[in-house]
A and B are shown apart, each in its own frame.
Chain A
Amino acid sequence: MSVTDIDTVPDVDTAIPAAPKSLWRRLRRLPITLYLGGALVSIFVFVALLSFVWTPYPPNQLNMSNRLAPPGTPGFFLGTDRGGRDVMTELMLGARNSLYVSVVSTVVAMVVGSAIGLAVAGSNRYFQGPLTRLVDAGLALPGILTALVLAAKLGPGNTTATLAIIIWQIPVAARVTIGPARQVLALDFVEAAYGYGRRKPYILVRHVLQNISPLLIVLGSVMFAAAILIEAALAFLGVGVQPPTSSWGRFLNETQALLDAAPYLMFFPGLAIVFTALGFNLLGDGLRTVLDPQQSRSGLS
């Protein structure tokens, strides 16, 4: 045998690992979508929070002498609506409602959905197929119809809209979690964790959840965008929040009647919805680039 001279080989493997790069260099290499999306989302959140402490006019202050004032009218930067309410005030309050509904629904749907997804991925091989199909069936639920049925049962309102979004999004979060969670469960470090004496529930929560967390963060931001769109759609259809609370969707609905008198009015809530949803989608896209281990030579990891 050829190994008698193993003892003469010197240790070479003692170099100390390099220090991580500076924060500034890492920040500069982040993708532009992350900054754009982050900016749009920050504006949205800032405006929504600002509405609690300051709006140009008190909420729902009618001003009959200034009905349908065009944008740029002194005192009304974006003009007024049919009841003479300040458009900017309306938009800020609409942002607040959007933020409220989408935060609650996304957080609940993410937590419940990913927990279901982890449990299905960790279930034994006999249950896994049927359970996955069950989640697929949930995915086939028509969201708007669910909301209409809920509204018929509970009456329209923010609670109904939030519940509808949650029911709609839970199977999405679960289904997106199952595949990657199963992939992680098949990796060697999971076997190593069993080797230390760990058991499946701990491995699911500690190792699997941690390793799919980049995906969940991206999923969360995309679900946020969806929640904002659904909230607006439900309010537009009259299933969501009721007057006098302001909402972009309801505002948009009201502008329908004014297509002749003030066609420009629909652009305000419309663009607010578009840019906010775009912001969350861009943010999700940027996060995906940064958090994807395949691409993240420069990233946060």
Chain B
Amino acid sequence: MLEIRDLRVHIDGHEIIHIDELDLPPGARLGLVGESGSGKTMTAKAIAGLLPAEAKVSGTVRFDGNDLLALNDAQFARIRGKRIGFVFQDPARSLNPMMRIGRQVSEAIRLHTDLKGRAITDKVVELLTQVQLPDPASLVRRYPHQLSGGQQQRVMIAAAIAADPELLIADEPTTALDVTVQAEILRLLISLSEERQMSVLFVSHDLGVIRYVCDRVAVIYGGHVAETGSVDDVIDRPRHRYTSALLAANPGMPKDDDFAAFMGQRLHTIPGSVPAVGRFPSGCRFRNRCGHASAACASIPSPVTGADGHRYSCWNPGGED
């Protein structure tokens, strides 16, 4: 479905992103996980061609056999919304405040299908029903501010899947929402993906959410894929030192309701913060924050591929396959 090879994004002469290899099989759900500033959102937007003009994108992103990066603006616009849907982080900002819900959900339908008039409204009501919104017939005439955050995100999802895309890119779709609403939206995304055989590229900083939603995951650091593989392999048997540091930083849940012990434990952190653009160390990009760095880390680690496509780029891997 999606084959990324050697994808690079340059801004102002700095290489922000370099994804050497990343695949998303048809119908699968791939998570991109990383800290703020790791480049996960930018990777997702580069794939959808949504980066501003000053970002120079190179490499190949093969979508169903065609290289998306070889398309011009007009050709890309015919794919965007029709074959690739995009759900944004903050639904309140991603809906035009002065446009009725129905109109916004119908954008991709008007643009990419032959439906007219009444048929468009019927399709919109059907979509709003599919994303489990109450009273879709009257919702069509509402404005975004009359809806709650979770309802707005359902509207955004309805708009993104309106033209039946084969790939849905969701950029932190639940980060701006309450935890309870978050769970509903995640369930909705999973069921839509399964019903429609729709591939999902799911961007999140939350490994727990990724494990719930995705089959495969890629851990992004400094615009590079540190480690990728099935969700179980990467989360339960991490090899890259960045992945294990990220996992250790998650406090998890109290075991056996033993809150006293849980509250008393020391939280693990990754020392320092993600370097500014252009300030990454040579070789392994994580080595200045890594507890296991050695002299070898000064050269770029070559990727190692294990069983089931479990691939990592680390000179001093932890754990075992």
Binding site for B on A (CB under 8 A): 1-3, 6-7, 9, 11-18, 124-125, 187-189, 191-199, 207, 210-211, 213, 293, 301
- Kindly name the residue among A1, A15, A194 whose own CB sees the greatest number of chain B CB atoms within 10 A: A1
How many whole Å from B146's CB to the nearest CB in chain A?
4
- Of A3, A194, A213, the residue contacting B80 (CB under 8 A) is A194
Q: Which residues of A contact B25 (CB under 8 A)?
A: none
Interchain CA distance A6-B185 in the complex, whole Å: 11
Q: State how many angstroms separate the Cβ of A51 from the closest Cβ of chain B.
A: 38
Neighbouring A residues of B187 by C-beta, 8 Å: 6-7
Chain A residues whose C-beta falls within 8 Å of the C-beta of B151 in the assembled complex: 13, 17
Instruction: Tell me the bound Cα distance from A127 to B47 in angstroms.
Output: 27
> Given the complex of chains A and B, what is the CA–CA distance between A187 and B90 in angstroms?
11
C-alpha gap A13/B156 in the complex (Å): 15
Expressed in whole angstroms, the Cα–Cα distance for A125 and B157 within the complex equals 32
Given contacts A12-B181, A15-B148, A16-B135, contact A192 B95 (CB under 8 A): yes
- Are B112 and A17 touching (Cβ within 8 A)? no
> Contact between B98 and A3 (Cβ–Cβ < 8 Å)?
no
User: Which residues of the other chain, B, contact A199 by a CB distance below 8 angstroms?
Assistant: 73-74, 77
Partner of B150, one of A9, A13, A207, A213: A13
CA distance A228 to B2 in the complex (A): 62
Q: Does B250 contact A (CB under 8 A)?
A: yes
Select which of A2, A12, A125, A197 is within 8 A of B77 by beta carbon.
A197
| B212 contacts the other chain (CB 8 A) | yes
Q: How far is the CB of A130 from chain B (nearest CB, A)?
A: 17
Which A residues touch B111, using CB under 8 A? Answer: 196-198
Closest CB in chain B relative to A239 CB, distance in Å: 41
A126 to chain B, nearest CB (A): 10
Given A2-B252, A196-B80, 16 additional A-B pairs, CB 8 A: A1-B208, A1-B252, A3-B208, A7-B183, A9-B184, A11-B132, A15-B148, A188-B93, A191-B88, A192-B88, A192-B95, A195-B85, A195-B160, A197-B81, A198-B77, A207-B99
- B94–A192 CB distance below 8 A: yes
Question: Which partner residue on chain B sits nearest A214 by CB separation?
Answer: B98
Known: A15-B148, A18-B146, A198-B107. A9 touches B180 (CB 8 A): yes
7 contacts between A and B (CB under 8 A): A17-B139, A125-B54, A193-B107, A195-B160, A196-B107, A197-B81, A198-B107
Q: Is the CB of A211 within 8 A of B134?
A: no
Tell me whether A189 and B94 are in contact in the complex, defined as CB-CB below 8 angstroms, given that A2-B253, A124-B53, A195-B88 are known contacts: yes
* Interface SS of A by simple majority: loop
Known: A6-B212, A197-B78, A199-B73. A189 touches B95 (CB 8 A): yes
For the complex of A and B, 3 pairs with smallest distance between CB atoms: A197-B81, A195-B86, A188-B93
Check if B115 is an interface residue, CB within 8 A of chain A: no
The B interface is mostly helix, strand or loop, or mixed, namely: helix
Question: Nearest chain B CB to A220's CB is how many angstroms away?
Answer: 18
Q: B245 on the interface (CB 8 Å rule)?
A: no
Contact across chains for A211 and B78 when beta carbons are under 8 A apart: no
> Given A196-B108, A210-B96, is A12 in contact with B180 using a C-beta cutoff of 8 Å?
yes
Interface residue? B147 (CB, 8 A):
yes
A15 to B150, CA, bound (A): 11
> For residue A193, which residues in chain B have a CB less than 8 angstroms away from its CB?
96, 107
Min CB gap A11→B, angstroms:
5
A197 and B108 contact, CB distance less than 8 A: yes
| Cβ contact of B184, chosen from A11, A17, A197, cutoff 8 A | A11
Q: Which of B178-215 contact A (CB under 8 A)?
A: 180-181, 183-184, 186-187, 207-209, 211-212
Is the pair B96, A207 in contact by a Cβ cutoff of 8 Å?
A: yes
Taking a contact as CB atoms under 8 Å apart, the answer to whether A197 and B112 are in contact is yes
The interface residues of chain A lying within 8 Å CB-to-CB of B112 are 197
**Which residues 283-321 of B sit at the A interface, judged by CB distance below 8 A?**
none
Interface string of B17-50 (1 = CB under 8 A from A): 0000000000000000000000000000000101
CB pair B96 A189 closer than 8 Å: yes
What separation, in Å, do the CA atoms of A293 and B143 have in the docked complex?
Answer: 13
Q: Is the CB of A125 within 8 A of B53?
A: yes
Task: Give Cα distance in the complex from A192 to B93, angstroms.
Answer: 9
In the assembled complex, how far is the CB of residue B317 from the closest CB belonging to chain A, in whole angstroms?
A: 21
A211 to B108, CA, bound (A): 20
Distance of B292 from chain A, by nearest CB (Å): 23
B82 CB–A CB distance under 8 Å? yes
| Chain B minimum-CB-distance residue to A203 | B96
Query: Does B68 count as interface, using CB distance less than 8 angstroms?
Result: no
Question: For A6, A9, A17, A196, which residue has the most chain B Cβ atoms within 10 angstroms?
Answer: A196
Given the interface contacts A9-B180, A16-B135, A195-B50, does A2 sit within 8 Å of B146 by beta carbon? Answer: no
Give the distance to chain B from A199, nearest Cβ to Cβ, in Å.
5
